[in-house]
Structure 1
Amino acid sequence: MKYLFILGRNIELSKAEVFSYFEKLGNRILKYELEKNGLFLDLENPIKENEIDFLGGVISIGKVIASGTEEELLKNIDKEELYFGTENKLNYTIWNFSKSLEVIRDYLKERFKKEKLKATLKHLTREIKLQEGKRANVPSSKLINEEYFIFGNKELYFGKIFQTCNYEIIEERDMNKPVRRASLAISPRLAKIMINLSKVKEDEILLDPFCGIGTILSEALLQKIKVMGIDKDEKAIIGAKQNLEWSKFDKKDYQLINSNSTKTQIDYVYAIATEPDLGEILKKIPTKNKAKETLQKFEDLIVNVLNNFREKISGRVVFTSPNIRIGKKRIHPEIEKILKKTDYKLIYELPEFRENQIVGRMIYVLER
């Protein structure tokens, strides 16, 4: 089954998430291609109708309905129904990941004209700035009935978007919870990404040793993953309890512990996904020495925590670290030192920051 995943602003992070997600599901990727922020996947099995709800770094998912050379593609599209609406007025857009955009644009214009549809092509006029500095276009209008895509150059793939992330519902859920810590809390989007990078499955237990008010815990519970949250801040644990109760999660599926994760003794869990303390919130760029001091504290903390839980974790460890701007460069922990002291192997090292952010994140995925 062939699909297009339109990735968010951090392409490498989103790609790693998608790969890890389908690995844990056992849905083998037979082939993939990446063009700008479009990730084409040929999967062994079909995906669920609500698959996008489980992914944090994906904007939309499209299904391929026709493929081939330009000539073959147009013949194959002719066999497919493109519009299922009841009105004869249609606003549509085309996501372009190919040099054959003009051919598809002309084809759709003629096709809709023959079908006596008042069809208007809406261009992708809104821009998002990608992690590496480039820009990608996304729809700016909500008044779009159909979204199509064209992908590839030698072998062309045409299809329709059939799943789109509902950011409004995610934001509403996040903003309405009883306890919030805007400056400290991780976003639901990044929480989902980290959970998927951990490859933890439904009914397995995920540990967050710095759980705060429970954002990662909540996102995992929504995926029917059991969780254990630890935090030495009693107020944070009380806040996490309120948030999980507000979401009406089954109490047997989560455990909250007010304790220090460098010393806490726990039963076996599958994986870790966590955001430890990234240091103080900075309003101006720190000196190199100050930044190195923050990173050393972080390295000591994460080494102690990983060694404390080492014999209780069977799967991956996913954590964020400070990625601190000093001048025009950024510095982050020396991961080789952490690996040597904990006997883990590095799977991914992925930056996640905005251009003017002083303390961004580096995301690490480790395995034994």
Structure 2
Amino acid sequence: MSSKYIFVLGRDQNLAKLEIVSILKQAEFDYEIEIDGANYLVITFKDKLNVNALMQRLAGTVRIAEVFSEPEGVTLQNFDVDLDIDIDKLDIYFPNKFNYTVHSLDDDAKLESEVYQLFKAHFKKYKIKAIKKSFSFSRKIGEDFEFLLVRENDSNNADANTSANANAGKILLARSVAAPDPNIYMEKDNDRPARKFTHGTSFRLAQMMVNILDVPLGKTVIDPFCGTGTFIIEGLLKGYNMIGIDIEQPLIEASKQNLNWAKKRFGFEGKYELIQADSTEVKFNADGCVFEPYMGEFLKKLPNFEKAKKDIEKLEKFYAKFFRNLTKNLNSASEYKNNARIVCILPYYRTNDNRLVHLSDRFFTQLPFKHVDLEKEFGLNLLNPIEYFTPSGSMISRQLHIFE
């Protein structure tokens, strides 16, 4: 029995889309992206989903909602008439008393009002005490009902140039059925014993990057700038064996503390090794790589153009040496060396006169790895690299790169 779901994306929307499709491909789901919206994906599946299990694997998705109605005959051209929805025939059980919210993912106030009036009339007819609340993604779902609405149009149709677009304008009504547990990330970020604020990627971002890494489970993945062990922990929880390298021994000790804590708290079966070494020279055997490297000196304010250019040139030399060493060690171990995958974050600078200073084109053309074609491999209209939402207060901008 086929089913249709709306995946609502968090703040890093393009990265979240890539994570969803990566997970679905890795798990060999039979699916089709029906609508590719700015802040959501509508996906049809051949079978019913275990939404809670899938939600636990996704770090960039804030809701999964199951579509329960697609009113016929509602298009952009005739939307000025009332929606013709018989709520009595919907496969939803309403208790005698509950709270509910209605929210359009397209910020369509007219659609929200139409649907609200339908529900209001239905609840009044059956003397159901239903209290409408203000919508917020911070609200818990469960006993309350959260209804999400999507209106398909030319701009968000996944195949707008085909006959499938003849139904553009149809309305999708969905009920939220799964949401992430924010306490998991809070616990990882706050309860780990060793924390270094200048050497830490968020666990949410680390999980997304590990999910995008297209390496078979059980293989060995390396983080060559492991810091306090965030990627190591997420890789182990995913099902990889992990190698962590850092040039600073205190950070290796911090990783050991955090890994011992994570093993006791969450449990994992994979093996790991922590090595104090220079990642531009050390030898290792690995099948994939995920990391956020050294990004240059800490900046308290935006640099001028001359300083930004000088700093990025220094980083280019360091990164070039690192990537040359990486390709030797990845290829020496990989059974599919032409597809050895790297997911990483690299910096660029915004200057105090609002100019951008990126790693040069020459740097990327000389790399032994090439950017993955995201549209070809994942069916998403995304460019590689992907802009990453820079943490508040950071003077360094970031992009996520996927190489092979």
| TM interval, short-chain normalised | 0.7 to 0.9
**Normalised TM-score (structure 2):** 0.79
Letter in 2 for 1:322: P
**Aligned partner of 1:263 among 281, 284, 290:** 281
Taking a change above 3 Å as real, the CA distance of residues 256 and 277 of structure 1, as seen in their structure-2 partners, is same
1:226-284 deviation line (CA, Å, top 9, x unaligned): 21111111111111111111112457521212111112212242x21100001122111
Alpha-carbon distance change, 44 to 206 in structure 1, aligned in 2, over 3 angstroms: farther
1:331 aligned residue:
357
Aligned partner of 1:294: which letter? D
Decide whether aligned partners of structure 1 residues 324 and 77 sit closer, same or farther in structure 2, where only a CA change above 3 A counts.
farther
User: Percent of pairs identical after alignment?
Assistant: 27
Whether contact under 8 Å (1:349, 1:365) holds in the other structure is yes
Instruction: After TM superposition, give the deviation of residue 185 of structure 1 in Å.
Output: 0.3
Say yes or no: does 1:94 pair with 2:102. yes
- 1:20-56 deviation per Cα after TM superposition (whole angstroms, max 9, x unaligned): 2222222244123233412212234544322122222
Where does structure 1 lack aligned partners over 5 or more consecutive residues? 125-137
Q: Secondary structure at the match of 1:247?
A: helix
CA RMSD of aligned residues (A): 2.6
Give the structure 2 partner of residue 318 of structure 1.
Answer: 343
Larger-Rg structure: 2
Partner of residue 276 from structure 1, selected from 264, 274, 293: 293
Is 1:164 paired with 2:184? Answer: no
Q: Which residue of 1 aligns with 2:22?
A: 20
1:56 aligns with 2:59: yes
4+ aligned runs moved over 6 Å, structure 1:
none
Paired with 1:93 and 1:344, the residues of 2 have a C-alpha distance of 46
Quickly say closer, same or farther: Cα 1:62–1:201, change in 2 above 3 A.
farther
- Candidates 289, 309, 313, aligned match of 1:296: 313
Superposed CA deviations along residues 46-84 of structure 1, whole A, max 9, x for unmatched, are: 443221222221111111122242679855753334346
Residue aligning to 1:112: 123
2:149 match: 150
Q: Following the alignment from structure 2 to structure 1, what is the Cα–Cα distance between the partners of residues 273 and 30? A: 33
* Aligned-partner SS, 1:345: coil
Correspondence for 2:325: 308
Return the offset for 1:295. 1.8
Distance 2:308 2:34 in 1: 39
SS of match in other structure, 2:41: strand
**Could you tell me how far apart the structure 1 residues matched to 2:14 and 2:8 are?**
12
Alignment deviations for residues 125-151 of structure 1 (CA, whole Å, 9 cap, x no partner) = xxxxxxxxxxxxx44555971111111
Conserved in 2, the CA contact under 8 Å of 1:318 and 1:366? Answer: yes
Distance 1:366 1:106 in 2: 50
Is the CA contact 1:13–1:350 (under 8 Å) kept in the aligned structure 2?
yes
Q: TM-score, normalised by structure 1?
A: 0.86
Report how many aligned residue pairs link the two structures.
351
What CA distance in whole angstroms lies between the structure 2 residues aligned with 1:45 and 1:339? 43
Structure 2: state its 5+ residue gaps.
Answer: 76-82, 153-168, 374-383
Amino acid in structure 1 at the alignment position of 2:127 = K
User: In 2 relative to 1, CA 224–335 (structure 1 residues): closer, same or farther, beyond 3 Å?
Assistant: farther
Q: Note if 1:175 corresponds to 2:190.
A: yes
